[in-house]
Amino acid sequence: AQSVTQPDIHITVSEGASLELRCNYSYGATPYLFWYVQSPGQGLQLLLKYFSGDTLVQGIKGFEAEFKRSQSSFNLRKPSVHWSDAAEYFCAVGAGGNEKLTFGTGTRLTIIP
Partner 1 sequence: NAGVTQTPKFQVLKTGQSMTLQCAQDMNHEYMSWYRQDPGMGLRLIHYSVGAGITDQGEVPNGYNVSRSTTEDFPLRLLSAAPSQTSVYFCASSYLQGVKTEAFFGQGTRLTVV
Binding site for partner 1 (CB under 8 A): 4, 9, 32, 34, 36, 42-44, 46, 49, 51, 90, 92, 94, 96-106
DSSP letters along 22-89, please? --EEE-SSPPEEEEEEE-TT---EEEEEE-SS-SEEE-GGG-EEEEEGGGTEEEEEESS--GGG-EEE
Nearer residue to partner 1 within complex by CB, 18 or 98: 98
Nearer residue to partner 1 within complex by CB, 80 or 98: 98
- The letter for the amino acid at 14 is S
Nearer residue to partner 1 within complex by CB, 38 or 72: 38
Contacts with 43 (C-beta within 8 Å, 6 or more apart), sequence order: none
CB of 97 to partner 1, least distance (A): 3
CB of 29 to partner 1, least distance (A): 14
CB of 110 to partner 1, least distance (A): 16
Nearer residue to partner 1 within complex by CB, 15 or 64: 64
Do 4 and 93 form a contact (C-beta atoms < 8 A)?
yes
